Amino acid sequence: MLKQATFSPLEFASMIAAEEQCSNAVMPHHISSRIRSEIEQLVAPAAQRLALSRTVGDVGPENIASAVATTLFGSNSPDDAESAEGFFKPMASDPFSMPAASVDQYYDASNTFLDSVLQRRRGNGVSVSLIASEACSQLGLPMVGLASPAGLLLAPAEATDQPLVLDCYSGCGVMDEARAAKFLAAELGPGMAAGADEEKLLEYGRARLRALRATPLTALQWGASMLRSLRDVHEEEEDVVRLLGVCDRLRLLGAHSNLAVSEDEMREYAGQVALCIYQLRWKQRRNEARAILRQLARFSDETPGANIERVRVDELLSKPWFEEE
């Protein structure tokens, strides 16, 4: 049985990278060690600056988070030649997400593997956020992930008198409580926000921030986020073998945590597993696929409004291959 306390998000990410890149014969602990070492080198200049600051005064969470944001994403300051361009600056016009030049690059598994992300200086929001989290931790500020509809956010693991949030998704960088509250209030959308005054919007944003802080992402949730990205990639590429593997892993995580994978997602991934088994004509797993489809059909009968493509389930079950033994 998986024990969430056993693995950190970075170690989960390393396991995923090792399994997906099995042809490279790499071990998870080798990947995680290399990633930590590369991040340590990456933030070395920031560590030196912070060490100097500590000798003349206090260095708070905001100083560390700002140092990481500058190192990774740049200061965008015309008079700061040293740090104007950050590590992820080559990521075209949006250094916090995917290159705007090509939508196709979203469907690249390398954007999820932290070792590849560090080598290519390009990644998706989840992988970049995880690198930022590890960088902050190495500089003395352990971080947790916050699952906001506006994107994955980072916040100090320990509560502080002056809450802050680090946004690696949309480019807002380091935000204090007021700015983070305003950012989260945008979840309401322009229509709903138009009818509320600014103070009410800020109060909503602060309440959202408190709620997110009370339920930070677990390591399993981090892992599920990365696997969902890979699922999109393999589905787009019609890579049935890898799609089956990702859906198997998502179901494994969901069996241990419905926070990581919801019940609706579990049924969706189960259906994909059955379809992949059929497409591969994997005889050893035929009984498993048949049982999954029958269970989905039964759930559809017993649950009005169930979000299940019943026609597709029945169509698959009617295939002669499922009648063979």
Structural domain boundaries of the chain? Answer: 1-141, 142-217, 219-323
What average pLDDT does this structure show over 44-66? 88
Q: Is the pTM of this model over 0.95?
A: no
What average pLDDT does this structure show over 193-212? 81
Percent of residues, the chain, with pLDDT higher than 70: 85
pLDDT number for residue 174: 93
Stretch among 55-64, 87-96, 179-188, 206-215 having the lowest mean pLDDT: 87-96
DSSP state of 6: G
pLDDT number for residue 103: 44
pLDDT number for residue 159: 80
What average pLDDT does this structure show over 186-194? 62
> Domain 219-323: which topology?
1.25.40
Alpha helix locations (H) across the chain?
Answer: 9-20, 28-42, 44-56, 61-73, 114-120, 125-138, 177-185, 189-193, 198-214, 219-237, 240-256, 263-280, 286-302, 310-317
- Cα-only R_g, the chain: 22
DSSP state of 321: G
Q: Please determine, for residue 146, whether its predicted confidence score (pLDDT) is greater than 90.
A: yes
